[in-house]
Structure 1
């Protein structure tokens, strides 16, 4: 009963403020204030306020909210522990297997990286002149990278 009276008073005050705002020729703001002030009366008429008031003063409802909070806390804790430990054993085993299979066993030496075997330095050749000079630079670069 008190909740309905408070909601009605809030709506009446909001509609009064909307009238004053409209009198000042701010019609868009007045319409917005009127819309907000009609919400409490609408909630009273649909019964939401009565349900909320009954739920607020019910020890059973508070016990239910406590159980929901405990369940959420358990979910959050298990997620945090799972993330910190790196997942389940099966996931870790699969990750290790994938890591081992990352390099193909029959791969050529350049695909294994520079640390696989030292690349032999090509002997320096005298530079040619003319058009072949450009190609010798490219050849030197390619030989340097083992291609």
Structure 2
């Protein structure tokens, strides 16, 4: 009987707070308060309070054993070792996949023919000339630029990495 009184008192208090929030035009907050306020009454009416008490008792018993029982500490160490091994193998698997990818790429055959792109140093005067023709002044990069200088930089980076 006491459980019912506490559950419905908590529900009534939560509904009151939700009403105040709605009165202040904070409807999203009011809806959240109302949803949380319904939980105690719902738990009581479905009979889940005894289940919650049993779960709480079991957690308390486990915590007492955690402090005093060496078997529990051994289990925790085994769980930690297991987690560490799983993380390590996942990391090593990813690293191995990256290494395999680098080794197999050159063995796949010759790279497809790429269009010749001027290096960045040679492309700069061409950009300036194109910008001047476009009427934007010398050295400025404008609409007339085809972006070959940027691709030359990217191509250089790819060559250094062997791609």
**In which range does the TM-score fall when normalised by the shorter chain?**
0.3 to 0.5
More helix by share: 2
User: Which structure is richer in relative contact order (CA contacts within 8 A, separation 6 or more)?
Assistant: 1
Q: Which has the greater radius of gyration?
A: 1
Q: Give the TM-score normalised by the residue count of structure 2.
A: 0.39
